[in-house]
Structure 1
Amino acid sequence: MLKVFQHRGTPFFTIYLATFLFALHIALPLYINSSFLGQFLSEKGIGFVFAASSILTLFLLAKFPEILSRLGNYHVVLLVFATQMTFLALLASPLPAPFLILTFIFMQAFTTLGLFNLDVFLEKFSDDKTTGIVRGIMLTTLNLAILLGPLITGIILSDNEFWKIYLISAIFLVPALFVISRRLKRFKDPKYTKIPYFKTLREVLTARHPNDEIRHAITASLMLRFFFSWMVIYTPIYLYNYVGFTWNEIGVILAVMLLPFVLFEIPIGWLVDTRLGEKQIMLAGFFIMSFFTAVLFFVENQSLVIWAALLFGTRIGASFVEITSESYFFKHINSTETHLLSIFRDSRPVAYILGPLVASVLLMFTDIQHLFLILAIILFYGIWNAFRMSPVRGKNAASPRGL
């Protein structure tokens, strides 16, 4: 693992530190965002706001490779971080509800852009032999912050004073901005491949086996993000409004739930680099996710321990899928192929369009508790997709013709 930090003197530690700080700013409001919007909107309306932010994200991601080519990743990431701080400060202000909702939509979109910038930094310095462990450390760093977020939020939040959370979230971006501005200003951008967005999308979607690895990686990521979209939006609402937990108790439950992302992703990353392939572990991950998500539907107990244990189980599977989908994808691209990275990162906004919209429609006909059982069934498509994946054959081996 030390070789990851020592290899050619590359600034892995700086990237991981910036990732941790950026992720911490995401984590603090992550599980209270839906409750914040719930002050102004119904449960159905909340889903449409998340969908709107995802549509904006898709548009920005489509333009992002071109922006990077013109300005460079270093300058763009500073602009993204500074703009995000402004959005968070506005959310902490006593502004009219329509303005707050619009600001929230832009804040969500810029979160994805910041993660994209960090991806570009990391991919520039990594290689196939260490992709699993490099991505494992990256994801563990990110998820450690995501784990700490609910605990900090549970301590700070009282009487639905959400403005405190958004303000502190903005403050965490200050050291992230400082670290990047000081340590990565000499970053040399790769020569980004310039291929139109829709041409890239068409080539990826129509690629035929065995040259369809990029599509399988994107599909796995899409299924995972769809799972997250329902869990992040509706689990806190269900636990607070229906089960009856306090925010402090929810903070503990969510922290326990997120532990698998910290515990398993580095070992799994090492495993897919040295022993097993991504396919086997991804299959296991989707099976575990589906099983524990289905069990949630049948739980009528208000025990904190039971809910924490079952949600912990869902995230064991999710952690397996997250690291294997990342490793599988990045073993098939290089740092110049931001057009492919853009499509891959589209899985999050696409999922946050489809997920809330589907859930909003379903909630017109069923109770929120039924979403758990429906989600478990949907996850079987992830199992089918993983079953059809081919073994890793080397960087760019899977790129569709012309990409």
Structure 2
Amino acid sequence: MPRTRNKKTGLTTAPAATLYALYLTIFLFALHYALPLYISSSFLSQFFSQKTLGLLYAASSLILIFLFVQMPRILKTFGALRTTLAFILLEIASLAGLAYGESALTVALVFIANQALVSLIFFNFDVFFETFSKDATTGTVRGIMLTVFNVAILLGPLLAGIILTNGDYFKVFLVSAALLVPALWIFFVHFSTFKDSKYKKVAYIETVRDIILARHPKDEIRHALVASLLMRFFYSWMIIYTPLYLHGDLGFSWSAIGTIFTIMLLPFVLFEAAVGAFADARSNEPTVMRVGFLIAAVFTGILPFVGSSSLALWAVLLFGTRVGISFVEVASESYFFKHVTSADTNALSVFRNANPVAFLIGPALASLLLLFMPMQYLFLVLALVLLYGAVSIGRPKKKTAARANS
């Protein structure tokens, strides 16, 4: 019996089957992303000093901010499917470049491209997921998506630690590239008839101004944006400097670091789906975000005062930081996407620009601070940033205005 075409998405597959395909694809992409995630800074330290390698992340983010502003024009011209396929192919090429690059210049240029491509592909995933989710189930769909994503993220450090037993960084990059091949096939086969939304040109400055100046009941996007920016600032320091500190200063082996990071990332798998469903049921994302920032701040603030090389102690402390951040992540995502549609590319561009803005400011600021303080005290500064996040989130209202029809 022939299948009918969905008028909204243009696909002949059932919505549930489409979501399952997206979940599988996000798993593969996340695993590809997770494998080199926590070893990249140590890989780069072979070519650059610890005080300057953060500038590579900042340079990539600067380029990415420009590209994010151009994304609506790119999507309108080429469509979400073709753009995603092209980005994945370029990402495979960049990973091959990291595996076989020998000069500092080559590694720097390819790494900058690699970091930008990962974020651009994540942007396109948001377009696909927003198309197939409804307001009433946004938190649930996002919670499941983030759980699937974080199961892969959980496996990444463990697998990287196994692969890196001989310090062969190139193997990690090649395995990461191989994982994108089936993801490429799923997009090509399952989304070949995907119907794009009408993407609008980004009025970036005007959108940022409107978000900043918005007042209740239209200030939800600002609260989600601030939370996302601070959360990603946390990531920008933790991803770069935690493995450098554990491996370089405390002397942990990569296999031990893989175990620590696997335990550290468990909260994203254990809590995010439940927190997403809870946020849907209670509509109290601001409270969830505030509690998450407080938990993360307490555990992060302890880190600079721990000089022990105990695997169990570091696993517990880093686990605690991610308990808090997992709350912030799913609550901020749910809070934002309940107030936008797939065609709201202005707001979506600003929201996704929180990542490159954080990775522009964070590593650049860390490089500056490292001129005056030891690496471990970056964690104390980070705890203060997280405390600011707890007090910056607007207090929950008992009743919010209904969302405008879109």
Gap change, CA 1:36 and 1:392, over 3 Å in 2? farther
Partner of 1:379: 386
The aligned counterpart of 2:75 is 68
Q: Using structure 1 for the length normalisation, give the TM-score.
A: 0.94
Q: Of the candidates 50, 59, 64, which is equivalent to residue 57 of structure 1?
A: 64
Q: Secondary structure at the match of 1:364?
A: coil
Residue 322 (str. 1) matches residue 334 (str. 2): no
Do the aligned partners of residues 163 and 322 (structure 1) sit closer, same or farther apart at CA in structure 2, a change above 3 Å counting? same
For the structure 1 residues 95 and 308, does the alpha-carbon distance in structure 2 shift closer, same or farther, using more than 3 Å as the test?
Answer: same
Q: Is the 8 A contact 2:296 2:383 kept in 1?
A: yes
Aligned counterparts of 1:83 and 1:162: Cα–Cα separation in 2: 20
Match of 1:3 in 2: none
Q: How does 1:278-297 map to 2 (within 5 A)?
A: 278-297=285-304
Unaligned runs of 5+ residues in structure 2 are: 1-12
Deviation of 1:95 after TM superposition, in Å, equals 3.1
Asked if residue 126 in structure 1 is aligned to residue 144 in structure 2, the reply is: no
Match of 1:238 among 245, 253, 269: 245
Could you tell me whether the CA contact under 8 Å between 2:38 and 2:243 is conserved in 1? Answer: yes
Report the CA distance between 1:394 and its aligned residue: 4.3
Taking every aligned residue pair, what percent have the same amino acid on both sides? 50
How far apart are the structure 2 equivalents of 1:347 and 1:8?
A: 30
From 193, 196, 205, give the equivalent of 1:186: 193
Q: 1:7 to 1:298 in 2, by over 3 A?
A: farther
Distance 1:14 1:394 in 2: 32
Aligned in 2, Cα 1:365/1:156: closer, same or farther, shift over 3 Å? Answer: same
Deviation, structure 1 residue 216: 1.1
- Displacement of 1:279 in angstroms is 1.3
What's the Cα RMSD here?
1.6
Are 1:106 and 2:113 counterparts? yes
Aligned length in residues: 393
Q: C-alpha deviations, 1:75-109, integer Å up to 9, x for none?
A: 11000101100110111114322011110001000
Contact 1:264 1:319 in 2 (8 A): yes
Tell me the alpha carbon deviations over residues 320-353 of structure 1, each in whole angstroms, 9 at most, x when there is no partner: 0000000000000011111211110001100001
TM-score normalised according to structure 2 size: 0.94
In 2, the alpha carbon distance for the partners of 1:389 and 1:241 equals 43
Following TM superposition, by how much is the alpha carbon of 1:208 offset from its aligned partner in structure 2, in angstroms? Answer: 2.8
Q: Is 1:249 the counterpart of 2:256 in the alignment?
A: yes
Structure 1 segments unaligned to the other structure (5+ residues)? 1-5
Counterpart of 1:261 in structure 2 is 268
Give the whole-Å Cα distance in 2 for the aligned partners of 1:278 and 1:191.
29
2:403 and 2:340 map into 1 onto residues whose CA distance is 6
- Say whether residues 1:176 and 2:177 are aligned partners: no
- The residue type paired with residue 148 of structure 1 is L
Greater shift after overlay, 271-280 or 72-81?
271-280
Task: Give yes or no for contact 2:70–2:202 (8 Å, CA) kept in 1.
Answer: no
* Distance in 2 separating the partners of 1:274 and 1:75: 37
Q: How do 1:3-402 residues align onto structure 2 when only pairs under 5 Å count?
A: 8-9=15-16, 11-275=18-282, 277-388=284-395, 393-396=401-404
Match of 2:10 in 1: none
